[in-house]
Structure 1
Amino acid sequence: MVTFADVAPPQAPYKVFGLGDYLDVASVQVAISQTYYIDGGTDIESGMTKALTDVFGNPGDRATVPDIMIVITDGQDFSNVTGAQQVAASRGITVFSVGVGAYVDYNQLVAIAGSTDRAYNATNFDFLDEILADICGSNSTNSVIAPRLPFSSAIAPKTCAFDVKSGFTKQEFCTARPYCHQIC
């Protein structure tokens, strides 16, 4: 589980726990209930990237179990969620998005998930149980790279420093940052 906001690290994005940290549902529920809310704006791409680098492919990630990322947000932002979704899809990770409240942009939820079939919107947190039951019962584990949406430099961060230590290949980095023409 990763929390995210537009505040500086180490507050966000923050890995709360990984796939191998707890062995039963009750322990996971306790860990979730003890997670604090990070004040600030929303930075969805940073949370998705943190999950891609620090959760998936690490201890607890089982080869025989589909990789699923569920992004729950109560806001919208201007980060490159499409790039993060494409990296997830290229790694075989199916992404679901859940927006909660009045400040969520449905088009961004679709960009996060890569499909309208995996994008959910709820007016409040009371609907999460129903949505999560639908996601957990879903057979939609196909993870095909979605077509690239038209690029707008106004909504993407301008960071173009590729670091091998990031856990991304150069191809994945360039997919997530199509505006980095100098190094891609």
Structure 2
Amino acid sequence: MSSSIFILDFMKQLTFVSNLIKLFDIGRHKTRVAAVSFSTNATVEFHLDEYYDQKDVRDHVETIRYTGGVTNTDDALNLVKNSVLTSEHGVRSNVLHVVIVITDGRSQNSPDTRTKAKALKDSGIFMFAIGVGPYVDDQELEDIASAPSENFMFTIADYDALLSIKNTLALRVCKAGRPGSQRQIDAE
């Protein structure tokens, strides 16, 4: 979650994430959630092995603090790879791994963002990219998103529109790991 946005829009982003979590069955042996916020710095808000109850996860999402700054998407992706999606923090080898990036701007370092996103995708992680507003770089979103990007990328006009993609995103996340689903993922 990028925080190079206004506080009101940041709160809408947190509400979206909280509402998205409602659509998943959260638990120790079910869906696990971690959160990373990013602006000038990237921060692990919580790891996959910290909360196994949906209410706890949502409560902790809602306490993420707003910090303004620049958009260091590459740092966030690096943190996800090296600190979040690790066995020491609850990652399981026998389940689908999904990263959802929400941003409203261009990364400060597009080449590194592209490289870090590719490394995550090459390791078998499905990457969703959500671009909000007029300042996103469509090419960068495509570089972040898994292929085919039209199935893993969303561009929306503003933060109010996040809720309009919630159900579609949840469905695509669930379909991402199914054999043959890449071609049919957007048929819902």
Determine if the TM-score, normalized by the shorter chain, exceeds 0.5: yes
Deviations 1:10-49 (A, max 9, x none): xx21100011111112111111111012211101111011
Equivalent residues in 2 for 1:29-108, closer than 5 Å: 29-58=58-87, 59-79=89-109, 80-108=112-140
Structure 1 match to 2:56: 27
Higher CA-based Rg:
1
- Asked if residue 111 in structure 1 is aligned to residue 112 in structure 2, the reply is no
Poorly superposed stretches of 4+, deviation over 6 Å:
none
Percent identity (aligned): 26
Which ranges of structure 1 fall in alignment gaps of 5 or more residues? 7-11, 143-184
Q: What secondary structure, in the 3-state scheme, does the structure 2 residue paired with 1:69 have?
A: strand
Deviations 1:122-163 (A, max 9, x none): 122223233232222111238xxxxxxxxxxxxxxxxxxxxx
Residue 102 of structure 1: how far off its partner (Å): 2.1
Contact 2:107–2:113 at 8 Å: present in 1 too? no
Equivalent residues in 2 for 1:164-175, closer than 5 Å: none
Which ranges of structure 2 fall in alignment gaps of 5 or more residues? 1-34, 179-188
Q: What secondary structure, in the 3-state scheme, does the structure 2 residue paired with 1:16 have?
A: strand
Q: What secondary structure, in the 3-state scheme, does the structure 2 residue paired with 1:127 have?
A: helix
Contact 2:70–2:108 at 8 Å: present in 1 too? no
Given residue 20 of structure 1, which amino acid in structure 2 is its aligned partner? Answer: D
Residue 84 of structure 1: how far off its partner (Å): 0.9
Given residue 170 of structure 2, which amino acid in structure 1 is its aligned partner? Answer: C
Structure 1 match to 2:162: 128
Partners of 2:50 and 2:105 in 1: CA distance? 28
Structure 1 match to 2:27: none
Calculate the aligned-residue CA RMSD, in Å: 1.6
Given residue 101 of structure 1, which amino acid in structure 2 is its aligned partner? Answer: G
- Asked if residue 140 in structure 1 is aligned to residue 173 in structure 2, the reply is no
Contact 2:129–2:144 at 8 Å: present in 1 too? yes
Partners of 2:145 and 2:128 in 1: CA distance? 5
Structure 2 match to 1:15: 44
Residue 120 of structure 1: how far off its partner (Å): 0.6
Structure number with higher helix proportion: 2
